[in-house]
Amino acid sequence: MENFAVIDLGSNSARLTISEIEDDGTYKVIKQLKEMVRLSEDMGADQNLQQPAIERTITALKKFRDEYSKLPNLKVRAIATAATRMAKNQKKFLKQVADEVAGLQLEVIPGTLEAHYDFVGVINTLPVSNCVIMDTGGGSCELILVQNGKATNLISLPVGAVNLTERFFKNGTDKIKAEDLFWETTFVNQLFNDVWWLRKGQNLPIVALGGSNRTLAKIKRKESDFRHFENIHGFRMSVASVNQVYAEVISKDLAGRKKIPGLTKERADIIAGGMTPIVTILRFLDSDRVVFSQNGVREGILLEHVAQLQEEGKIGQRS
């Protein structure tokens, strides 16, 4: 039996998933943690990670280390995505992490690999064969066109909930201004227009990942009084329902958004900017529904690791 820990350090949150992989090829998740670190906060035009954000991140990584360090037969895979990818002080940050978190080696992965792991996590856990996968994070947005169960095209766009909010809501997010929202929507729509293959996804459902997108589902499920409202894997929403939730979010000031059931207070300042891409792509592709996935990068990494162990003969095939 192997304990396999995956750390996913994004622009807004840091996440840990620990799984037990048995000798017969079966596995189960035994621990999941999430910390809102807002690593990309105030990176600005010079694209440097700021010290307060770095300190929050290191504190979170130390908390993760305390969770997995005592486990036997342990393997750790720690990846960093958009914020660290873009940071000009990336090497200094990675060294600081290694120095302060017991030699933890963060692997900075390209956006295309992040999109690939999203695809692996989705295609193996949801019954979808033709769709557009969209993972809106804090600093990037991954898009994958899936045709007949294969990822035919994928891309990572350098926009997400945090950097879109900082770029277009410069006067703050207490009250959402129509002008700010208009320019953000126009910008995102143009980005999609520049992805030549994206229109091949016309009329296909969107499979949605990422904190902002999942919040849509949580708000709707809370509104509908689902007992386990956070269990959104496979949950479907119509475009009308998405629009209704989005309209509610952008109509409220910051204090009002913090009171919306299903929306965490820590995300209230970036949620309007973060939901705009999915609302925009639904119109861009004339999609009729969204299917939500709780599985993405970390699950994709786990599944590929299990497959590699099986290929090497270290564990058996799942029956």
165-200 pLDDT tens trace: 999 998 778 999 999 999 999 999 999 999 999 999
Q: What is the dihedral of CA 292, 294, 296, 302, to 10 degrees?
A: -150
| Domains in the chain, CATH or no CATH each | 2-110+301-311 (3.30.420.40), 126-294 (3.30.420.150)
Q: What is the mean pLDDT of the chain?
A: 95
CB 288 within 8 A of CB 203: yes
Give the pLDDT confidence score for residue 319 in this predicted structure: 58
Asked if residue 39 has pLDDT above 90, the reply is yes
Asked if residue 107 has pLDDT above 90, the reply is yes
Backbone angles phi, psi at 300, to 5 degrees: -60, -45
Mean pLDDT calculated for residue range 146-168: 96
Asked if residue 44 has pLDDT above 90, the reply is no
CB atoms within 10 A of CB 52: 11
Asked if residue 79 has pLDDT above 80, the reply is yes
- Does this model's pTM top 0.75? yes
More confident residue, 316 or 260: 260
